[in-house]
């Protein structure tokens, strides 16, 4: 593998690669890919402190309003703590690909819950199945407390079926629009009646609320339950195609290639093994085509985590991480709707592009960015911001430039471009880069991260 191919792989399987790792990696593609999967073999659950919920039961919340109010307040704080913990995990992953896949599945099986215990449990279910059996994955998601609340599964009863989950199961999670009928939705909704959960978030099947009668689904009649409906859906190869296209657009190129997606679907349909699908993608020659390198606009999380992967940063105020997510338009655990974030071009508008171009200097260099060849720092954004906020910076961060310089010790300053920027650099930017003073590796790094080309991976 060439260094460029390695960088491409690690930007898709993770959030970038450091020079030491780049130089020490094997040039044998299979060995590199094997190592990535081996490193993500284990599942390390994400857990925050929820001990304040120990011993609390529903009747206590009804009996003691003050306790209910206190628990509600702590729940709101814990949801933010879970956000911080997830961001920190992405910035310091132990199982790189598993964490990347967890982020991917969170925008596929989209769900939002304000109960931190249920939200944490849901997040860990995504993590546990991220590289496993997709069939078991879908069944597990259908029984998750957070999903049962989000798509009204708890209100789905024999005498009054609720179709929300059944509809999204096919439209967004497995088949895509146009591959089922309204009657299929109605009949499959009946199969999921009786699904519920207890206070702890454990799945509970309410037998007296379940419809045990015959249902006709995809042209066949049987006494389907929820798991049987999912099996019938996955029997349709369209499910393998739908998921393969989602994977292709996220990990390869936002513009679908029907031939490659069909090849992926052939692999996936055999046993719905997610790891085998991802291995096929990362081992395919077309994955490393020039057209796919630097073809994606980084999501806000990819942008932020990728920056911190290159230059380690300590955020002195955790709330700054929330502010950055809001500014960039992607708040973890708070998707806009059940369809999730659209991604790619939707990440960029007139406001977010300005934030993105300024953020590296704000986080890494006290709002300073060298815009002249001789290195004179005179950023208009900094002047305007200081004027409004009495010289207070919006974020309090401590970048570890010593670690950066150590990590990039063997890289010449002018060679930083090849590592930090993915894909093609336009002629105007190339001419601009030639005018910059490259005496400082640190300054040049901030300059590179402030380019429009850095938005791509």
Measured distance CA(194)–CA(203) in Å, rounded: 11
The CA dihedral of 161, 162, 164, 166, to the nearest 10 degrees, is: -20
Residue 369 pLDDT: 52
Measured distance CA(47)–CA(289) in Å, rounded: 39
Instruction: At 407, give phi and psi (nearest 5°).
Output: -60, -35
Buried b (16+ CB within 10 A) or exposed e, 428-437: ebeeebeebe
Q: Which two tokens stand for residue 356?
A: 């993105």
Q: What is the pTM of this model?
A: 0.94
Cα-to-chain-centroid distance, residue 254:
15
Contact 375, 367 (CB under 8 A): no
Residue 285 pLDDT: 98
Q: Distances in Å between the alpha carbon of 89 and those of 83, 280, 309, 316, 401?
A: 10, 26, 12, 17, 21
Pick from 356, 374, 444: nearest CA to 404: 444
Measured distance CA(326)–CA(321) in Å, rounded: 9
Residue 204 pLDDT: 98
- Domain locations in the chain? 3-39+237-292, 300-455
Contact 457, 356 (CB under 8 A): no
| Contact partners, residue 208, CB within 8 Å, separation at least 6 | 194
Residue 450 pLDDT: 96
Q: Which two tokens stand for residue 323?
A: 């502010």
335, with CB counted inside 10 A (0-12, 13-18, 19+), is: middle
Measured distance CA(83)–CA(452) in Å, rounded: 28
Measured distance CA(333)–CA(79) in Å, rounded: 8
Q: Distances in Å between the alpha carbon of 352 and those of 84, 329, 377, 385, 394?
A: 21, 8, 23, 17, 16
Q: What is the pLDDT along the chain (457 residues), one digit of tens a residue?
A: 999 999 999 999 999 999 988 888 889 999 999 999 999 999 999 999 999 999 999 999 999 999 999 999 999 999 999 999 999 999 999 999 999 999 999 999 999 999 999 999 999 999 999 999 999 999 999 999 999 999 999 999 999 999 999 999 999 999 999 999 999 999 999 999 999 999 999 999 999 999 999 999 999 999 999 999 999 999 999 999 999 999 999 999 999 999 999 999 999 999 999 999 999 999 999 999 999 999 999 999 999 999 999 999 999 999 999 999 999 999 999 999 999 999 999 999 999 999 999 999 999 987 655 444 433 333 454 455 445 554 567 899 999 999 999 999 999 999 999 999 999 999 999 999 999 989 999 999 999 999 999 999 9
69, with CB counted inside 10 A (0-12, 13-18, 19+), is: exposed
């Amino acid at each position: 593998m060439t260094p460029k191919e390695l960088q491409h792989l690690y930007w898709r399987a993770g959030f970038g690669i450091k020079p030491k790792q780049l130089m020490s990696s094997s040039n044998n593609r299979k060995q590199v890919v094997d190592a990535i999967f081996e490193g993500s073999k284990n599942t390390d659950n994400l857990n925050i402190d929820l001990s304040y919920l120990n011993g609390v039961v529903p009747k206590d919340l009804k009996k003691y309003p003050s306790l209910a109010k206190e628990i509600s307040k702590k729940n709101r704080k814990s949801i933010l703590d879970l956000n911080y913990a997830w961001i920190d995990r992405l910035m310091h992953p132990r199982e790189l690909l598993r964490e990347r896949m967890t982020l991917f599945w969170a925008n596929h099986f989209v769900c939002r819950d304000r109960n931190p215990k249920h939200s944490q449990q849901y997040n860990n279910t995504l993590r546990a199945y991220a590289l496993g059996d997709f069939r078991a994955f879908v069944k597990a998601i259908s029984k998750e407390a957070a999903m049962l609340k989000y798509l009204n599964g708890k209100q789905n009863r024999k005498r009054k079926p609720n179709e929300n989950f059944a509809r999204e199961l096919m439209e967004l999670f497995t088949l895509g629009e146009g591959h089922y009928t309204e009657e299929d939705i109605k009949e499959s909704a009946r199969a999921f009646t009786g699904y519920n959960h207890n206070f702890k978030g454990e799945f509970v099947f309410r037998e007296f609320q379940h419809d045990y009668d015959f249902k006709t689904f995809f042209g066949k009649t049987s006494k389907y339950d929820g798991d049987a409906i999912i099996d019938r859906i996955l029997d349709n190869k369209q499910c393998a195609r739908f998921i393969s296209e989602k994977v292709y657009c996220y990990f390869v190129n936002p513009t679908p290639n029907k031939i490659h997606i069909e090849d992926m679907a052939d692999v996936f349909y055999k046993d719905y093994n997610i790891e085998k699908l991802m291995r096929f993608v990362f081992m395919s020659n077309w994955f490393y085509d020039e057209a796919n390198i630097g073809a994606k606009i980084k999501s806000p999380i990819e942008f932020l985590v990728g920056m911190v992967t290159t230059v380690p940063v300590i955020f002195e105020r955790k709330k700054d991480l929330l502010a950055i997510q809001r500014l960039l338009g992607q708040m973890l655990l708070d998707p806009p709707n059940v369809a999730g974030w659209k991604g790619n071009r939707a990440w960029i508008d007139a406001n977010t592009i300005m934030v993105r171009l300024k953020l590296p200097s704000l986080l890494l260099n006290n709002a300073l960015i060298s815009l002249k060849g001789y290195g004179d720092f005179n950023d208009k954004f900094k002047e305007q911001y200081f004027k409004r906020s009495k010289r207070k910076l919006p974020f309090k961060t401590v970048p570890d430039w010593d670690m950066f310089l150590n990590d990039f010790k063997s890289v010449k300053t002018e060679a930083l471009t090849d590592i930090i920027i993915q894909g093609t650099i336009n002629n105007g930017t190339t001419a601009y880069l030639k005018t910059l003073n490259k005496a400082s590796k640190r300054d040049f790094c901030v300059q590179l991260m402030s380019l429009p080309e850095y938005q791509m991976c």
